[in-house]
Structure 1
Amino acid sequence: MEYIYLIAAFNAFFFTVLIWQKKPRAFRDKILVCWLLYLGAYTGCYAFFSSILFTLHPILAAAFISLFLLHGPFMYLYASALVTEKSRLTRKELLHFVPFLIFNTYLAIASQIPSLVKGVNMMYVDNQTDPSAFLLFFLTITALSGPVYFLQTIMLLRKHNVNIFNNFSNTEEIDLYWLRKLVLIFGIVWSALLVVVIIHHGFYLFSSTFCTNGLFLLLSVFIILIGYFGLKLRTIFAQTMPPALPETAEQAVKYAGSSLKQEEAEAFAEKIRLFMQSDKPFLNPDLTLGELSDALAIPAHHLSQVINEVFGLNFFNFVNRYRVDEVKQKILNPKYDNYSVLGIALECGFNSKTAFNRIFKHMTGLTPTEYKKTHNSQRISL
């Protein structure tokens, strides 16, 4: 098991070097570097000293466990740096590290008072020694920190996802799906391990080593995945996006104070339809709400409102609906018989086979190949 932790620690330091060499280096990269250095040092120390730490050095063992309080804040702040434009942490964000500081302040005080030292015992279940109420309180906070931050991070990424689909027609490498999935999976597993820890301390089942090994094994896998994806992540230009819009059910409330009148909205909608049909801006695979707004001379917030309310779609689905319709026409057009389906998709504004197949199937209920076979008799001649 120690070898797994050492491999994870090596990967953390290796990814740190690679990420630090990136040019330009964004603020999110700096947070990720600090996060990986912490995770690498943490798992490495556990690999070398876990066998003696919890039995011979109770104060250090408790301080070591308190380091779990840093994992959640680093994860949340990294996600926050990905979806917002910032160059430094605010004072409010620094408060996330206060529980860690308070826990270790208590341990520092306890180490100087013999009566308190006896209550700081991470192996109390195995030794049948009652811990202090303060230690139990801080251990509870540490245990709950993981699930709480996993949940907060998922909520943050969910809001960002809404914003992405309201501003971009292509979400490849910017929708952070990988991070949402990673956080969700590890949040569930982390919570399951928390249940194991509670069972261990409440019913004397399992062992302390079993609990800590499980947590560090999970961290080891997390290190490898977060380092890999963080290294290959492309920059998300948050400054091109307005504040996140709510989902459809809440749009009426969002636009209640809008200055856009019904007649203006209908006029804008007609202007949008004509422009999409004549100029076909959707052929640009990287078309954004801001670019379409400039081309139409319609304020971005009004354009977004019209697309949401009049067309009943977010920007992503609105643009890709035109792309799918263009693909459908070309698939049935004899002029494009020498084109592969993927070639046609690239001509129509899609920039990857995976995205094209997923979107086409979602909007038509058929794969491109199935659609071509089904509608082969409807081919048009030009």
Structure 2
Amino acid sequence: MDSPTFSDGIAVLCLLGAVQGVFLAAVLASRHRNAVPNRLLAGLMLVFSLDLAMAVYHASAVSVRVPALIGLDLPIALLYGPLLYLYVRTLTSERPALRRADLWHLVPFALVTLFLVPFFLRSGAEKLVLMQDPSGSLQTRALAVLSPFKLTHGCVYLALVVRRLQRHRRRVLDGGSEAEQVMLGWLRTLTAGVVGLLAISVVLYVVGARGRAAVVGMDPTGIYDDLTLLGVTVFVYAFGYVGLRHPSLFAPTTDEGPASDAVPYARSGMRPEEAAQHRDRLVALMETEHLYRRGDLTLQDLADALGISGHNLTEVLSTQLGQSFYELLNGYRVREVQARLLDPADAHLTVLAIGMEAGFNAKSSFNAAFKRHTGMTPSQYRQRQREAV
């Protein structure tokens, strides 16, 4: 019996990655909050999974035993860019909705699919012959052009995504909430991962294209295809890890809280005097325990500390304090920073160090929150106070 090859190990990893991708797609599609962006992201994960599964099919003996499916994955890569771009656009827009004009993004995929229909309709035996000699068909001869076209197509969409993120970053840094800061970080990380995958694909395509003819699907003899698949698989696994560690990224709340909390709380069962008591306990807890200094504090953590439900805490914040959870935290953090910037005992500390100790997680979110509360940056505030002395 032959010993396992590198491609055998990659095949197992890719199949597991494909299964995980389908599971993640199902979870994302079931999210009701931010439904449109999450469904687009689910579509992207599903395309990744299908591409992984078909790559294993091409690189294994299955394609020889069941050749009818050969080549069905050729247009799939033309969906990566549109799905990623539309996901980023809807997630960073005030109105996360798709427009009829967005169908134009599918035109390259549709045209390539139509062009390949004659190849798809060939018998399995004919497809096997064309895998050995691509010159026997217009469609297989076009692979020499189709592959670089798909890479170029991906680069164009990544440029659009990066441009969109740059514009969104300027808006967030100019006064975005901490939740928006976290989401911006996620989008930048996701985009960086896709950029890395595309860079690997381009480099390995250029290296692997030397001295070998275009093939349909994967080339079982080429380590370049193995490495490309490994990169995609690692990306899918990393995506799943992030989803498990930070589920709020795929069901984010805004500074105004969940949509259901925007309506009156008439049916919550909490009497006004009870809400007032919870308010007093909340204020006392924040001022004595300084829980806002915890950068990872969540609404549920604070609710647990008070011994009430997260929904009831949101009601107390809204009806008794007129604030959201993030507004409450950032208000306390900014006031502490203001006090410490005036304290001679903290004069040796940098502005950023004081902000981090007050509970902010990043310089950008710190500056944005401080400016939103005071009308100036922390550095400007310290400088003006020094000049006033």
Equivalent position of 1:19 in the other structure: 28
Report the residue type matching 2:172 in the other structure.
I
Which digits, 9 at most, give the CA deviation of each residue in 1:42-101, with x for residues without a partner? 323333453247778888543312211111211111111210134542222221121111
**Cα gap change, 1:155 to 1:87, in 2 (>3 Å):** closer
1:235 aligns with 2:242: no
Report the residue type matching 1:219 in the other structure.
V
SS of the residue corresponding to residue 65 of structure 1 reads coil
Equivalent position of 1:36 in the other structure: 45
Tell me which stretches of 4 or more aligned residues in structure 1 moved more than 6 Å: 53-59, 127-131, 320-323
SS of the residue corresponding to residue 203 of structure 1 reads coil
* Worse-superposed segment, 29-38 or 154-163: 29-38
Out of 235, 238, 245, the position equivalent to 1:225 is 238
**Cα gap change, 1:173 to 1:165, in 2 (>3 Å):** closer
Scaled by the length of structure 2, what TM-score is found? 0.55
Cα distance in 2 for residues equivalent to 1:175 and 1:87: 14
**Matched residue count:** 271
Equivalent position of 1:178 in the other structure: 186
Which digits, 9 at most, give the CA deviation of each residue in 1:230-281, with x for residues without a partner? 6431537599xxxxxxxxxxxxxxxxxxxxxxxxxxxxxxxxxxxxxxxxxx
Scaled by the length of structure 1, what TM-score is found? 0.56
Q: What's the % identity of the aligned pairs?
A: 20
Report the residue type matching 1:217 in the other structure.
L
Out of 152, 165, 169, the position equivalent to 1:161 is 169
**Cα gap change, 1:5 to 1:229, in 2 (>3 Å):** same
**Cα gap change, 1:31 to 1:216, in 2 (>3 Å):** same
Cα distance in 1 for residues equivalent to 2:194 and 2:100: 28
Query: Residues 244-323 of structure 1 correspond to what in structure 2 (within 5 A)?
Result: none
* Worse-superposed segment, 214-223 or 170-179: 170-179
Residue 131 (structure 1) shift: 7.3
**Cα gap change, 1:36 to 1:169, in 2 (>3 Å):** closer
**Cα gap change, 1:34 to 1:128, in 2 (>3 Å):** closer
Cα distance in 2 for residues equivalent to 1:357 and 1:201: 44
Query: Residues 48-197 of structure 1 correspond to what in structure 2 (within 5 A)?
Result: 48-52=57-61, 60-110=69-119, 121=130, 134-168=142-176, 170=178, 173-197=181-205
Residue 29 (structure 1) shift: 1.2
SS of the residue corresponding to residue 63 of structure 1 reads coil
Cα distance in 1 for residues equivalent to 2:130 and 2:202: 19
Which digits, 9 at most, give the CA deviation of each residue in 1:20-45, with x for residues without a partner? 44453531112122222222233233
Residue 197 (structure 1) shift: 1.3
**Cα gap change, 1:36 to 1:51, in 2 (>3 Å):** same
Instruction: Identify unmatched segments of 5+ residues in structure 2.
Output: 1-9, 257-292, 296-332, 347-351, 371-389
Report the residue type matching 1:232 in the other structure.
S
* CA RMSD in angstroms, aligned pairs only: 4.6
Cα distance in 2 for residues equivalent to 1:53 and 1:140: 27
Instruction: Identify unmatched segments of 5+ residues in structure 1.
Output: 240-282, 286-319, 334-340, 364-382
SS of the residue corresponding to residue 72 of structure 2 reads helix
Cα distance in 1 for residues equivalent to 2:365 and 2:136: 57
Query: Residues 359-378 of structure 1 correspond to what in structure 2 (within 5 A)?
Result: none
Which digits, 9 at most, give the CA deviation of each residue in 1:270-301, with x for residues without a partner? xxxxxxxxxxxxx9x9xxxxxxxxxxxxxxxx
Cα distance in 2 for residues equivalent to 1:27 and 1:160: 18
Residue 142 (structure 1) shift: 1.4
Cα distance in 2 for residues equivalent to 1:357 and 1:148: 29
Which digits, 9 at most, give the CA deviation of each residue in 1:137-164, with x for residues without a partner? 3333212222222222111111111111
**Cα gap change, 1:137 to 1:53, in 2 (>3 Å):** farther
Residue 195 (structure 1) shift: 2.9
Cα distance in 1 for residues equivalent to 2:122 and 2:57: 29
Residue 123 (structure 1) shift: 5.8
